[in-house]
Amino acid sequence: MAIQTTVVGSYPTPSWLLGNTSRGALRDAIMVVLKTQELAGIDVVADGELNRFDPSHPETNGMIDYFVSKLDGIRTRFSVSDLAAFRNDAGLAYRSDPAGIVVSGITEGVLNLPRDFEFTRALTARPLKFTCTGPHMLTKVLTDRHYGGDRGRIAMAIADVLRRQLAAIPAAVVQLDEANISGHPEDRDWALPAINHVLDGITGQRAVHICFGNYGGQSVQRGFWKDLMPFLNGLHANHLVLEFARRGYDELNAFLDLDPKIGLGLGVVDIKDNGIEPADLIARRLEHATSILGPGRIPFIHPDCGFWMLQRSVADGKMRALVEGRNRFEGRGTQAAAG
């Protein structure tokens, strides 16, 4: 089975979009992002997550605020007491403020993910990936004033909304982004049912992206992949989209215990480094991983995370190297050590 190349989602925001957020400017920007991926040879492309970019909230490229601001039942104005309660929550030291306060039952409000997909679908003929922040990540950035502190109930309420909307999106791949669970495997009991509730409604390839954070170009979570294996094996996903290039490949042996029904998407490009990886290095990384995990276990290779903090020229060079590295790997059979 041929290995496909893809992106995790985000792309550096074109400069003209910062000063002009009209639908016309957004369309032009997304067309540029898609065409850039096509020219690089990326097999499954994405909109650069520009549909949800808000220049007023650039810190997370819309990963959080786009969703929270549109859902009903969540207040986004905070008192001093609200801020104090949020800062007492564990595992969120990288944020000074909550994304929102849950004050009533969470419903879809004005969130309209199918509209975002259709806006992009018309701009490319390539297989398209649609990315969406997952219910665990969204739950962890909220302070509760309605569900009695039961994060599982909050997560399932969010999951209900996401499932209904993602079920209507016929993308080649729908990817849930969960950038907090990597440091909190103890959340598995309440996170897994909510994430699987969303995954079970997806009609295309079901993917889950997990990394160790990319906040201000820094990792914000600590942990090991082996500690997440019970969580990973419980996912109703077709494949994972995981970070490796930054961390190295010493943990690959842990994935010998990954359910064989779940493919391992391999991060081979470091998005926290401006250096453009040589194609030979990417090929060696892929060869090394295949030598450990066996043939057919890696359906996709991709960057570790989104490109949005890099310069466009760097992101473009990394995508070209990604494709060329895959091509070199598939054109030779020699074994080599990982870089």
- pLDDT tier, 19 (very low <50, low <70, confident <90, very high otherwise): confident
DSSP 50-65: GGG--TTSGGGTTTTH
- Residue whose structure tokens are 């990973």: 232
- Could you give the 3-state DSSP secondary structure of residue 143? strand
Cβ count within 10 A of residue 70: 16
Estimate the crossing angle of helix 312-330 against helix 279-293, to 10 degrees.
50
Domain 4-330 annotated CATH 3.40.50.300: no
Cβ count within 10 A of residue 296: 11
pLDDT reported for residue 337? 41
The per-residue b/e assignment along 99-136, b for 16 or more CB within 10 angstroms, e otherwise, is: bbbbeeebebeebebbebbebbbebbebbbbbbbbbbb
For strands 100-107 and 142-144, give the pairing: parallel
| Cα distances (angstroms) measured from residue 1 to each of 4, 8, 209, 238, 299 | 9, 21, 22, 15, 8
Cβ count within 10 A of residue 302: 27
The per-residue b/e assignment along 262-280, b for 16 or more CB within 10 angstroms, e otherwise, is: bbbbbbbbbbeeeebbebe
Residue 93 in this model has a pLDDT that exceeds 60 = no
Q: Which of 62-66, 84-88, 180-184 has the highest mean pLDDT?
A: 180-184
pLDDT reported for residue 332? 47
Cβ count within 10 A of residue 311: 11
pLDDT digits (tens, 9 = 90+) for 323-336: 999 999 999 444 44
pLDDT reported for residue 9? 95
For strands 72-75 and 100-107, give the pairing: antiparallel
Residue 249 in this model has a pLDDT that exceeds 80 = yes
Residue type, 229: M
pLDDT digits (tens, 9 = 90+) for 149-177: 999 999 999 999 999 999 999 999 999 99
Are 279 and 328 in contact, with CB atoms under 8 Å apart?
yes
- pLDDT tier, 56 (very low <50, low <70, confident <90, very high otherwise): low
- pLDDT tier, 321 (very low <50, low <70, confident <90, very high otherwise): very high
Residue among 27, 267, 2 nearest 124 (CA):
27
Q: Give the start-to-end residue ranges of the domains of the chain.
A: 4-330
What whole-number distance in Å separates Cα of residue 244 and Cα of residue 242?
A: 6
Q: What is the pTM of this model?
A: 0.91
Whole-number mean pLDDT of the chain? 91
Residue among 223, 252, 249, 214 nearest 94 (CA):
214
pLDDT reported for residue 221? 59
The better pLDDT of the pair 61, 325 is held by 325
